[in-house]
Homo-oligomer: A and B are copies of this chain.
Amino acid sequence: MNEPNNTSTSSTLSDKTRKRTAFFISDGTGLTVEGIGHSLLAQFPDQQVEQLTVPYVDSEARVQQVLQRIERAAQESGLQPIIITSIVSDHIRGLLHQSSALMLDVFESYLAPLASLFGSDPNRSVGVSHGIADNSRYTARIDAVHFAMDNDDGRRTREFESADIILVGVSRSGKTPTCLYLALQFGLRAANYPITEEDMDSTALPKILRPFQHKLFGLTIDPRRLMSIRQERRANSRYASPEQCEFEVRQVEQMLRRAQIPFLDATELSVEELATRLMSQAGIERRIS
């Protein structure tokens, strides 16, 4: 089946219901297949595709539920749905393969070549990729999260000694979410320190940061973007004025250059990109994998 019920129903369907649906189906969190799905579909920006993550499909009852949902999507839109899946169990996968959707099955594609390389069979255990794995990993991660919370926004600097990295930049340049992401994803102890107006009398590095110069990393941002972020927070304030944003960004960039601190422009980068790029630029290795 290619385009089910296309001719018979398309005239009565609105544009909305004519959207194709992609199902990202997993027996675990679904985060991996969702990532694959987003990457692949982003390559077809002209296609309107409703994207739906369906996690924890680990029983026959759950598969039957999902199968019904898929067939409903097919009938309502008149367009063949897409399934991207990483289900481990042969039985559950077999049931899923009964659907009329286009199947992109990660385990089916890649387990066989790996098994043949290793000369051993896969063990077919569910949900290992985002499981708790081991206690030391869990502890490292949680400690890093609490470290990032405690060492946010320059409120405290006495733990800077034990930081893996210290982000500096103007207020609302993206330091806090980047630190939290570094903690959650990579177990890194990331602190941050906002450069505020009182630090801007000169372009010398604030005194308190000097002992840690080797682990400082700067974030900068386009002043217009900064302005729009700050406007949402405090509309029409001096803090969000074009002059103030321009001044702060210029001062901080000069400070970073003068002290030879590496920095990234956060304007066009997501938190994931900032985190991974700064790690590779600063040569920092993850603490958990």
Contacts and interface: CB of A to CB of B under 8 A. Distances in A.
Contacts of A232: 139
A124 B42 CA distance: 9
A109 interface: yes
A80 B117 contact: yes
- This chain: how many copies in the complex? 2
Contact of A43 (B30, B45, B123): B123
A262 interface: no
Size band of the interface chain A makes with B: 35 or more
B120 A46 contact: yes
A110 to B, nearest CB: 5
A132 interface: yes
Interface stretch (A162-170, A252-260, A266-274): A266-274
A32 B35 contact: yes
A106 B141 CA distance: 29
B120 A47 contact: yes
By CB atoms of chain B within 10 A, which of A38, A43, A102, A152 has the most? A43
A20 to B, nearest CB: 9
Contact of A31 (B35, B41, B84): B35
A239 interface: no
A205 to B, nearest CB: 26
A29 B129 contact: no
Given A43-B111, A142-B174, A145-B180, 7 more contacts: A28-B273, A35-B35, A35-B129, A40-B106, A44-B123, A80-B117, A102-B117
Interface of A: 28-32, 35-36, 38-47, 51, 55-56, 80, 82, 84, 86, 88, 102, 104, 106-107, 109-111, 113-115, 117-118, 120, 122-125, 127-133, 135, 138-139, 141-142, 145-146, 149, 152, 174, 176-177, 180-181, 184-185, 228-229, 232, 268-273, 275-277, 280, 289
